[in-house]
Structure 1
Amino acid sequence: MAFFQQSSREPARHAVDPSLQPWVEKYRPKTIEDVSAQEHTVAVLRRTLTSTNLPHMLFYGPPGTGKTSTILALARQLFGPDNFRSRVLELNASDERGIAIVREKIKGFARQTPRAQVVSSDGNTYPCPPYKIIILDEADSMTQDAQAALRRIMENYARITRFCLVCNYVTRIIDPLASRCSKFRFKPLDDTSTSTRLASIAKAEHIDVPESVISTLINTSQGDLRRSITYLQSASRLANSTSPPTPITPADIQEIAGVVPDEAVSRFAAALGIESNDMDVDGVSKVKGFDDIRRKVKGIVREGYSASQLLTQLHDVIVEHPTLTARQKAQSALALAEADKALCDGADEELQILEVALNVHKAVTS
C-alpha cells in the first residue's frame, strides 16, 4: 500500500524542468510569426493559415535557419495542442531512410483517415483542416528507392495527407518528388536577426552578454542560429559554475566553439609573412627557412587546435587581406584546397599544416 501511495506523488513522467531544457527547444518558435529572418516564407505560410489549403512543401537551406521549427509552428497553429499528436507525424529520414520505412510507417500513417477534431482544451479555436501532415526531416538522406516510393504515396493520399520535406541540399531530392512540392528556401540568418534573438534569450535567462560576445557568437556560428544558441547556453553554464559567476568573454565562446583564437591565427599568419591590420602581433618574428617554419608549426600543433579549423580561418585571413595580390591569394588558396582534400582522406594533420605553411610562405614572399 505504501508503494502505491509513494508512486502517486511522483511527478509526471514526461514533465520537463525548464531549467534543464536545452535553450534551442525552450525558445523554439511557437508561431510562424516568431520565426526570424525568413520573411518571404512566413508571408506565404501566413496565407495558408487563412485558406487552410496547404500544398506539399519542400524546405531547404543551411542548418539552423528554422526549417523544422517553421513547419512545427505551422502545424501547431493549424491543429492546436490537442489534435497535434494525431495529425502530425515527424520522422528523421537520416535514421529511417530505407524503402521499408516508407512502405510501412509512412504509408500506414498516410492512409489513415484523420480523426474528428477534438475541442481544444486551451479555449482557442484552430482551423484543423481535414488532412494530416507528415514531416520528413533530413529528407536528402533518403535513398533513391525510398524517394521513388514516397512519390506514389504522395499522389495516392494527397486528399488526406500533406508532406513537408526538410533538407539541406535540394539537389539530392529526385526531380519527380521535388516537382510535387512548393519549394521554400531558408537563407542563413543575417547578423541583425541573430543578434536580436540572442539578446532576447539572454534577457529572458537574466545573463549579461556584452556586444563583443554576441559578435563572436555570430562569427563562429556563421548564420546557424541553433549553433549560436547552444554556444550561449554552454557559456552561461560555464560562467555559473563558479561562485561568484564569472562574466562571459569572447574567448569563452571561441573555446566552446572549437575555433582557433583570432590572435593565434594572426600570429601564425604574420610569421608566414602575411601582415595583419587589425591584430596586435608585435614581437612576431617572420620565419626565414624550413627549420623556422617547422618549429612554428610544431608549436601551434602542440596547442591541440583542429587542422581543418586552422586552415579554414587562415583561408579567410588570406582571401580578405587588402594588400596581397590576386596571384598570391590564388596560390595560397590552391595549397589550402589540396591540404583540405588530403585531410578529408585521412592525412596527417601536422604534415598538412607544414605543407600549407611552406607553400603560403613561398607565395607571399616571392
Structure 2
Amino acid sequence: MTSSAPTTNLPWVEKYRPDSLDQLVSHKEIIDTIQRFVDEKRLPHLLFYGPPGTGKTSTIKACAKQLYGKAYKSMVLELNASDDRGIGVVREQIKTFASTKTVFSAGFKLIILDEADAMTNDAQAALRRVIEKYTKHTRFCLICNYVSKISPALQSRCTRFRFAPLATEHMIQQVQRVIDAEHIETTPAGIEALVKLASGDMRKALNILQSTFMAFNKVNDEGVYLCTGTPLPADIEAIVEVMLNESFKTAFRKIMEIKTEQGLALQDILHDVHEFIHRLDIPTASRLLLLDRLAQIEERLAYGANERAQLADLVGVFQVVRNQVVEAAA
C-alpha cells in the first residue's frame, strides 16, 4: 500500500488509504466483481455494508479514482454523517449534482453517501425517486454499518456487498506495510496485541499503531495496551487468580488496588475476564453461571450502576464458583 500524498502530517489512516483496487488485500470476491464493473464501465448502484474499518469507503474511493483519474473531484460527490442528511439535501445538493450531465468517458457521475443509515426516512424516500430519475448518467454508492436501517426500497435498487471484519493475516500484512514505510521498531508480541485489539477493524489498527509509536517511539505489547487503556493480560490473569484463591474481602481489596494503579474501568476488566473464563478448567454449569452473571453486571454498568457494587458482585460469583468446584472435587 503506497501513498502519493505530499504531506507527512496526515493520519496514517488517510496517508496509506489505497489508491486503486489492486492495493486492497481483503474481500477478494467483492474486489474482483467491482474490478469487472470498472473495466466494463458498467457500474451499478452499490450498497456496501458491514462493521467499521473493513474497507467500504476505501473500496469505493479506489474504484472512483480508477474510473475518473484527475477528474475525480468534478465527477464524484461525497457526503457523510457530518453533513445534514435531511430531505433538503436530497432535493437540493444531491439532485443538483445528479441532474448535471457529463461528457466524460466514464459516462456517469458517482455520488457516495457514507453512513447512509443516518439518513432520515423522508430523505431515503426522496432518494428513491432521485436514483430512478437520474440513473442514465449518475450512479449511487450507499455505505452503512447496519443494512437494516436502509429501507427495502433503496436496497432493491442497489447491488449489495457485505464487508466482513478483516482476517488476521490481512490485518498483519497491511500493518506491516505501514511499519516498513514508517521505519517503526516493533516486536511480534506488539503486532499480535495490536491486531487482537483491532478485531478486524483496519482503521482502528492503524490508529492504535500511530498512537503507540508517537507515545513510546516503538510498538510492543505493553505499549499497545497502555496506549489504548486496555488491561494487560498479566493484570487480568492476576485478577482471576485472586478471585478464585483469596477470600472475598482480600480479593475485593486487591482488585481495587489494581484498578486504581492501572486506571482500569470495570467494563474493560469484564471484557477480558470473559475471554479468560474459557481457559478455566471448571464444570460447564459453573462456566454458564459466570457468563450469565457477567452479562448481568455489564448490563447494570451500561445503565449507570455503581462500579464498587458491581465489582463486589463479580468477586462474589467467583467465590460461588470456587465453592462449587471444591464441592465437586470432594
Residue in structure 2 matching 1:316, options 275, 287, 306: 275
Tell me the amino acid that sits aligned with residue 231 of structure 1. I
Residue in structure 2 matching 1:51, options 37, 40, 43: 40
Offset, 1:333? 1.3
1:89 aligns with 2:77: yes
CA distance in 1, matches of 2:84, 2:285: 48
CA distance in 1, matches of 2:80, 2:109: 17
> What TM-score comes out, normalization by structure 1 length?
0.83
Residue in structure 2 matching 1:151, options 115, 128, 131: 128
- Higher helix residue share: 2
CA distance in 2, matches of 1:364, 1:91: 55
Partner of 1:301: 259
Total equivalences in the alignment:
320
1:332 aligns with 2:303: no
Q: Are the equivalent residues in 1 in contact too, given 2:252–2:311 (CA < 8 A)?
A: no
Tell me the amino acid that sits aligned with residue 288 of structure 1. S
Q: Secondary structure at the match of 1:20?
A: coil
Tell me the amino acid that sits aligned with residue 302 of structure 2. C
Residues 114-170 of structure 1: per-residue CA shift (max 9 Å, x gap) = 2x33xxxxxxxxxx4111111111111222222122111111111111111111111
Partner of 1:269: 240
CA distance in 2, matches of 1:365, 1:165: 54
Q: Are the equivalent residues in 2 in contact too, given 1:31–1:73 (CA < 8 A)?
A: yes
Q: Secondary structure at the match of 1:129?
A: coil
Tell me the amino acid that sits aligned with residue 248 of structure 1. V
CA distance in 1, matches of 2:18, 2:36: 18
CA distance in 2, matches of 1:233, 1:317: 28
CA distance in 2, matches of 1:91, 1:59: 15
CA distance in 2, matches of 1:134, 1:72: 11
Residues 254-291 of structure 1: per-residue CA shift (max 9 Å, x gap) = 11122111111111111121xxxxxxxxxxxx2223x2
1:359 aligns with 2:317: yes
CA distance in 2, matches of 1:332, 1:169: 31
With over 3 angstroms needed to count, the CA separation of the structure-2 counterparts of 1:160 and 1:365, relative to structure 1, is farther
Partner of 2:221: 250
CA distance in 1, matches of 2:160, 2:82: 20
Moved over 6 A (4+): none
Q: Are the equivalent residues in 2 in contact too, given 1:24–1:229 (CA < 8 A)?
A: yes
Listed as ranges, the gaps of 5+ residues in structure 2 are 325-330
Q: Are the equivalent residues in 1 in contact too, given 2:184–2:219 (CA < 8 A)?
A: no
Tell me the amino acid that sits aligned with residue 262 of structure 1. P
With over 3 angstroms needed to count, the CA separation of the structure-2 counterparts of 1:342 and 1:100, relative to structure 1, is farther
1:112 aligns with 2:83: no
Q: Secondary structure at the match of 1:347?
A: coil
Offset, 1:237? 1.6
Higher mean C-alpha deviation, range 328-337 or range 342-351 = 342-351
CA distance in 2, matches of 1:288, 1:56: 62
Partner of 1:170: 147
Residue in structure 1 matching 2:160, options 183, 194, 199: 183
With over 3 angstroms needed to count, the CA separation of the structure-2 counterparts of 1:103 and 1:364, relative to structure 1, is farther
Q: Are the equivalent residues in 2 in contact too, given 1:94–1:139 (CA < 8 A)?
A: no
Q: Are the equivalent residues in 2 in contact too, given 1:269–1:314 (CA < 8 A)?
A: yes
Q: Secondary structure at the match of 2:8?
A: helix
Offset, 1:171? 1.4
